[in-house]
Amino acid sequence: MYVYDQYDQTIVDERVSQFRDQTRRFLNGELTEAEFLPLRLQNGLYVQRLAPMLRIAVPYGLLSSAQIRKIAEITRTYDKGYAHVSTRQNLQLNWPLLEEVPDILQELASVQMHAIQTSGNCIRNTTTDQFAGVAVDELEDPRPYCELIRQWSTLHPEFAFLPRKFKIAVCGTQQDRAAIHSHDIGLELVADKNDVMGFKVLVGGGLGRTPVIGSVICDWLPKKHLLTYLEAILRVYNQHGRRDNKYKARIKILVKAMGVEAFAEAVDREWASLKDGPSTLTDNAIAHAASFFTEPDYAEFDDQSSQESLQSQCDADPIFANWVNRNTVAHRVAGYRAVTLSLKATGLAPGDITDEQLELLADLADKYSFGELRTTHQQNIVLADVPKAALYDLWQALQSADLATANIGYLTDIICCPGGDYCSLANAKSLPVAEAIQARFDDMDYVYDLGLLELNISGCMNACGHHHIGHIGVLGVDKKGQEFYQVSLGGSQSKEASIGKILGPSFKQEDMPDVIENLLTTFIDLREEDEPFLDTYRRVGIAPFKERVYAKAD
């Protein structure tokens, strides 16, 4: 993974000092609340319902065991002993004290971490595929480009006060696991007809109040032009994006208003003066970034014999076999698997992880996965390089810490924002809905029979829980002071991305498990063989689901 040199460390250290001074000036009245607000936001600090919330950047989801141990220590010293994995692969602390945030940032800087631009109207953490570098279907590792974008976007002087927040995602596979279609900018590594790799550039995707699938404005951008082209897009957006209404301020609204073609032309005009300038990536710069994402020191395993011994362990222990089947995926190196640890055990808030679990994971990462961990935008954690021969030991260790729930990609692997329990933006609680649904569907055989099914819950239309792109999406809404839940069907974050369609009038919280059950029963009735939910929905449409759910509700 990327390792700071003296330049990176200087920048992050100076940012900590700057924020320490800003916090001091705010606390003694020299900075007004209005002035401090965007400054603290750009250091990840929100003021929430009960306490401030600090969002720590995890660049493209990559963490070392040393960083995880530091996070565990910070949650114990400055918080209540747990952290939360967000849908931007970041980590959140729910209970820090404002006065102590500069100290927390200093602790983070000691392990090459920070909270820069994790909120506010600026370029946010760049996200990618959690299986980058190990995926069997990968064309090229996206992480060096994520790192180059991280550096370019960090404290960018021109783009710190944009009309609205700005999110970039990069993927290097055909099967998009980074949701690039629902980002302000989505970048896909693609080959041209001569097999030279470059970027397909999508712009204007997004969730929130107005969900939009991004549009392609460049089919193939040479790698060296990546940063100047991004700069041109941002420059058009910064100058022309709406600032009069925050609900119409995202780039997707500008792209719609101008039209994709006119927007692309405006970008090209800006780009003309930036193209081939000093920010053009050099071969050296790309090679330098790539040098941090080389192969770890993989052992040479005989694939057949390691597969056979894994198989015999699976035969002997069906619970282990089930976990291997549900929570691990193929690895491009023989004898290895990539493992996803579920943070979606029933009864715990999705994405939450305790200090003790963090420390255990750090140890397990050191022991079994080259000391690296990854957060996922589905709010789970990945150990990307585990030898098949170590899976059984790993699984046993995870079981003892409640981290072996075998539900990755299934109904109970719910994506869920912190919602009204914590967030001051939320219209409704989301955690109790997730928990009630997990509790209702506790028969895992039934859950597995449903096949892969993504259920995403957001507590408001800011859509941190990505409800628009859930196969089933749930959105908390406020109706005259009461919390209701709107259901949508047919969203997808994959290659064939789509925005879910609203089912109809919203439901009360206590009715939600019944509503989900009705939807699932309808699906089972209409399903052909082992058809996944999304395929059935796309085949039969929303009407039969609607009929069933609202007939029963009367």
The CA-based angle 10-124-107, given to 5 degrees, is 40
Alpha carbons 458 and 468: distance in angstroms, whole number: 9
One residue of 28, 193, 245, 278 binding other proteins per CB under 8 A: 278
One residue of 99, 158, 276, 442 binding other proteins per CB under 8 A: 158
Q: How many residues bind other proteins (CB under 8 A)?
A: 42
Q: E strands within 57-191?
A: 62-64, 82-85, 91-93, 127-128, 168-171, 185-191
DSSP 282: P
Q: Which of residues 109-128 bind other proteins (CB under 8 A)?
A: 121
Stretch that binds other proteins, among 102-110, 157-165, 395-403, 533-541 (CB under 8 A): 157-165
C-beta closer to other proteins: residue 216 or 290: 290
Check if the beta carbon of residue 55 is closer than 8 Å to that of residue 105: no
Please name the residues in contact with 81: beta carbons below 8 A apart, sequence gap of 6 or more.
Answer: 75, 354, 355
Distances (CA, A) of 147 to 58, 139, 293, 396, 474: 11, 18, 10, 35, 33
Judged by CB under 8 A, does residue 288 bind other proteins?
A: yes
Please name the residues in contact with 297: beta carbons below 8 A apart, sequence gap of 6 or more.
Answer: 370
Stretch that binds other proteins, among 9-17, 84-92, 392-400, 516-524 (CB under 8 A): 9-17
Helix (H) or strand (E) holding 518: helix 512-526
Judged by CB under 8 A, does residue 7 bind other proteins?
A: yes
Judged by CB under 8 A, does residue 29 bind other proteins?
A: no
Q: Tell me the three state secondary structure of residue 31.
A: coil
Distances (CA, A) of 81 to 88, 95, 277, 341, 518: 21, 10, 48, 19, 38
C-beta closer to other proteins: residue 274 or 512: 274
Judged by CB under 8 A, does residue 154 bind other proteins?
A: yes
Judged by CB under 8 A, does residue 441 bind other proteins?
A: no
Q: What's the min distance (Å) between Cβ of 234 and other proteins?
A: 9
Judged by CB under 8 A, does residue 347 bind other proteins?
A: no
Judged by CB under 8 A, does residue 14 bind other proteins?
A: yes
Q: Which of residues 36-65 bind other proteins (CB under 8 A)?
A: 38-39
One residue of 1, 2, 16, 22 binding other proteins per CB under 8 A: 22
One residue of 273, 305, 424, 482 binding other proteins per CB under 8 A: 273
Judged by CB under 8 A, does residue 98 bind other proteins?
A: no
Stretch that binds other proteins, among 14-22, 68-76, 327-335, 472-480 (CB under 8 A): 14-22
Q: Which of residues 204-263 bind other proteins (CB under 8 A)?
A: 227, 235, 238-239, 243
Judged by CB under 8 A, does residue 18 bind other proteins?
A: yes
Judged by CB under 8 A, does residue 148 bind other proteins?
A: yes
Q: Which amino acid is at 327?
A: N
What is the number of alpha carbons within 13 Å of residue 374 lying toward its C-beta? 25
Q: What's the min distance (Å) between Cβ of 284 and other proteins?
A: 8
Question: How many CB atoms lie under 10 A from the CB of residue 361?
Answer: 25
The residue to which tokens 């397909």 are assigned: 200
DSSP 369: S
Judged by CB under 8 A, does residue 161 bind other proteins?
A: yes
Alpha carbons 426 and 460: distance in angstroms, whole number: 5
Q: What's the min distance (Å) between Cβ of 21 and other proteins?
A: 8
Stretch that binds other proteins, among 4-12, 109-117, 206-214, 432-440 (CB under 8 A): 4-12
Distances (CA, A) of 168 to 126, 187, 512: 5, 8, 33
Judged by CB under 8 A, does residue 281 bind other proteins?
A: yes
Chain centre to alpha carbon of residue 258: 29
Alpha carbons 209 and 27: distance in angstroms, whole number: 35
Q: What's the min distance (Å) between Cβ of 101 and other proteins?
A: 16
What residues make contact with other proteins under the rule CB under 8 A?
5, 7, 10-11, 14-15, 17-18, 22, 25, 30-31, 35, 38-39, 121, 148, 151-152, 154-162, 227, 235, 238-239, 243, 273, 277-279, 281-282, 284-285, 288
